[in-house]
Structure 1
Amino acid sequence: MANYDVIIIGGGPGGYVCAIRCAQLGLKTACVEGRDALGGTCLNVGCIPSKAMLHASELYHEAEHNFAKMGLMGKSPSVDLPKMLDYKQSVIDGNTQGIEFLFKKNKVDWIKGWGKISAKGEVTVGEETHTAKNIVIATGSEAASLPNVEVDEKTVVTSTGALELKKVPNKLVVIGAGVIGLEMGSVYARLGAEVTVVEYLDHITPGMDAEVSKTFQRILKKQGMKFILGAAVQKVEKARGKAKVHYKLRKDESDAVLDADVVLVATGRKPFTDGLGLADLGVEMSERGQVKTDAHWRTNVDGVYAIGDVIDGPMLAHKAEDEGMAVAETIAGQKGHVNYDVIPGVIYTAPEVANVGKTEEQLKAEGRAYKVGKFPFMGNGRAKANFAGDGFVKILADKETDRVLGCHIIGPAAGDLIHEICVAMEFGAAAEDVARTCHAHPTFSEAVREAALACGDGAIHA
């Protein structure tokens, strides 16, 4: 038995960041993680490996379609998927080993195994019980499926199985047009698969700014992806290593079937709390299986906190990280804080899609007067030189005060560009503040400035 100030259950982005911050603040800290490597879903079977695959497939696309245009001549590359998976694994290993190093550097104990809160102030891992003044639940989420859809991670896969396919499928059917489905679908589309996305709603990327969503779908269609919208999947049948996806069109109740070599189920994720003993401890849960917390991430059980995907809010690694730091500071007697109005979202396709703050649809529903500043990447010299002119930057600002309320970007490096607006929003900046800030030329970021200028007297290059 070991006694700690804090035990964090879960070594994903929320958990390991929380553990490191706790240790930095002088708390004796342990992190319980049952995987063979730290980093959780994000580093092992999610964010990081998928970005490695996206990067590799995008470079392949560049070589196939744009190298000759730039005078780079030579034999076109071929796809060696097993070698690509080796590259992906090397990226995973480098990152997870880095967290192990950070744990040692900050004197965080890694308790290997699956943890259970066996009593107030006690965490049991295997045969050992450890005590702690504070316990943080950071166990993340797992892929959600559908009725009559049995996942085997071979023919019917989640994102985990999609990152381990032994060969590029001829036909890939993706169920769900959210972030995971579109990212992985775009990977295999670039590698040569015929990709069809089946979505229950009548649009892709639920919750996204509608104009961006429509533009995004149009670009993906141009890249070869097919979309069946307003379709409810009824079941998936497997036979001889292939699958048939049965769906019903909502507009006319007609039935249809799609043949597939692989089916990717990308219908979202759900909190993972199995084996934690929360019911016996009396921890309150929501109807959606989330751990209920107050504004300071405290559960109804004294000394027990929860962060990340197991609680309410967007299931994003960076949201969990912010909560991890805030909880650590709260436990250490400081004033931990997360601004939930300024949490960016990114889809790492090509082009990337990024957003922060309000959408036009939300502002209209609120009845708030706003103005729009928009600038196309076709007007950006750097983007045109890089064959990356698709998309635009849209900034939404309060009509009277000019304060930035939201930003939506589809285009090159959108996931990096969005943070300029995140910082601006944290400081309560006006669109004019962004517009009057000198931006280096030629950069993609000039498109952000131009969109800010468009909120006032007008963009220069539009």
Structure 2
Amino acid sequence: MQYDVIVIGSGPGGYVAAIRCAQLGLKTACIEKYATYGGTCLNVGCIPSKALLDSSEHFYNAGHAFATHGINLKDLKVDMAQMMKRKVDVVAKNTGGISFLFKKNKIDGYQGMGSFKDKNTIIITKADGTTQEITGTNIIIATGSKPSSLPFIKIDKKRIITSTEALSLTEVPKHLILIGGGVIGLELGSVYQRLGAKVSVIEFMDGIIPTMDKSLGKELQKVLQKQGMEFYLGHKVTGATVKGKEVTVTFDSPTSEKKELKGDYCLVAVGRVAYTDSLGLDKIGLTVEERGRKITVDEHMQTSVKGVYAIGDVIRGAMLAHKAEDEGTYVAETIVGQKPHINYNLIPGVVYTWPEVAAVGQTEEQLKEKGVKYKVGSFPFRASGRAVASGDLDGFVKVLADEKTDEILGVHMIGPRAADMIAEAVVAMEYRASAEDISRMSHAHPTYTEAMREACLAATANRPIHI
């Protein structure tokens, strides 16, 4: 079968690329190695983790916040089987939606492992070992990533686990030891901490969510500690072993003092690595970068082989589903001769703990390093009428603006619904708005987004109304 475009991988980057190609009139195929479409994000990433975060948040609030609302409950307990069943149902609805969209857009879907025979021919190896070949004028590699580990730790997927296994536990851990204080680990740690587990976080860096503005990490750590999570920052893990149902994790303190923790589960969340195995890249003369096994592409996401593109987690940049989506659209439109653009500075990052953390643009640390003169406006949620009403008092919105022009250079927030609120900052920065522009726009009252306006007022002329 001959196609205009063949997409290898059906995650957010792959399925969006396939759909956009089809919309543009290209005969399109998409290959997925698993039984369902959607890749890591829909099957064992973004979607199931958010389902469990929502469920665990309801449970936590029922036990810790409902009484203040005049709602009295007793004998609360977690039904893990039902919680996991709901998660599976949520995943099924989303993956089923991709199947529907493929049919609607007349995209041919293939189940199996896709690999290169040559630059225009893809071999599909099915689960039963049989193979099939299809050809395409253009190939888009969108195979995503998988959890990485530490070389001296053996993942047994039972007691020493990755994020994949953490999404399907049949019991609440008594003590979950979390290696890594990044986004994935903290989200899953939050799930089980809310459900009653003791959670200990060991992080090599001196702060959690280290790629984000330091003020966000400090605030998030303070809130999570208040919820019961404990942290060992600046500590280096040296080993993890299993004996029966007990895991022992050894690590060194910043002063090289030897320490150990014992728990019933250890979640290794030290990042992800591009999934480029089994693609047969050598057949077309492509190699991967030593660090992270990523594929090198040009500014149009084309590899060194003409007509072969790569997007998402397998190339440079943040491993984010929405980044992959944007790149999928970009490549599809590039193939047909359009001139799309992506501003990587304006791709937001989000941590779906509670409170949520979200950011876009430059951090204070980055601006200082570049020698950019800037001003800061900040507004705490405890001064927000809407936040007081909902009981979500932790966190703040921080706006960084150019000292001379007042153009917004970065927005960093931690608080209720920050994941949704960050979109206002993205729109503002896409159109190069000043802090004063936002401060003069009407924001509905009472809403959480008023905090964005107040932070901009603070940045513009140090004149917030409500603090």
The alignment's TM-score, normalised by the length of structure 1, stands at 0.99
Between 131-140 and 143-152, report the one with greater CA deviation: 143-152
Q: Is it true that 1:307 corresponds to 2:311 in the alignment?
A: yes
Contact preservation (8 Å) 1:355, 1:418: yes
Shift of 1:287: 2.2
Between the aligned partners of 1:279 and 1:389, the Cα distance in structure 2 is 54
Q: Is it true that 1:335 corresponds to 2:348 in the alignment?
A: no
Aligned partner letter, 1:63? A
Task: Indicate the RMSD between aligned Cα atoms, in angstroms.
Answer: 0.8
Matched residue, 1:272 = 275
Between the aligned partners of 1:417 and 1:319, the Cα distance in structure 2 is 18
Matched residue, 2:354 = 350
Runs of 4+ in 1 over 2 A off after TM superposition: 73-77
Between the aligned partners of 1:111 and 1:332, the Cα distance in structure 2 is 24
2:260 to 257, 261, 276: 257
Shift of 1:316: 0.3
Deviations 1:21-66 (A, max 9, x none): 0000000000000111000000000100000000011111111111
Shift of 1:76: 4.7
Shift of 1:272: 0.3
Deviations 1:283-337 (A, max 9, x none): 1422221100000000001110000000000000000000000000001111122
- Could you say what secondary structure the match of 2:353 adopts? coil
Aligned partner letter, 1:95? N
1:23-422 alignment, distance < 5 Å: 23-126=22-125, 127-249=131-253, 251-288=254-291, 289-422=293-426
- Percent identical among aligned pairs is 54
Aligned partner letter, 1:272? Y
Q: Is it true that 1:7 corresponds to 2:40 in the alignment?
A: no
Contact preservation (8 Å) 2:116, 2:283: no
Between the aligned partners of 1:106 and 1:437, the Cα distance in structure 2 is 40
Aligned partner letter, 2:346? V
Between the aligned partners of 1:383 and 1:323, the Cα distance in structure 2 is 36
Aligned partner letter, 2:364? E
- Could you say what secondary structure the match of 2:103 adopts? helix
1:461 to 454, 458, 466: 466
Between the aligned partners of 1:72 and 1:221, the Cα distance in structure 2 is 26
Between the aligned partners of 2:276 and 2:63, the Cα distance in structure 1 is 45
Contact preservation (8 Å) 2:62, 2:73: no
Between the aligned partners of 1:252 and 1:433, the Cα distance in structure 2 is 49
2:432 to 393, 409, 428: 428
Contact preservation (8 Å) 1:345, 1:354: yes
Contact preservation (8 Å) 1:137, 1:305: yes
Contact preservation (8 Å) 1:63, 1:76: no
Between the aligned partners of 1:95 and 1:196, the Cα distance in structure 2 is 32
Shift of 1:212: 1.5
Shift of 1:440: 0.4
Shift of 1:73: 2.2
The alignment's TM-score, normalised by the length of structure 2, stands at 0.97
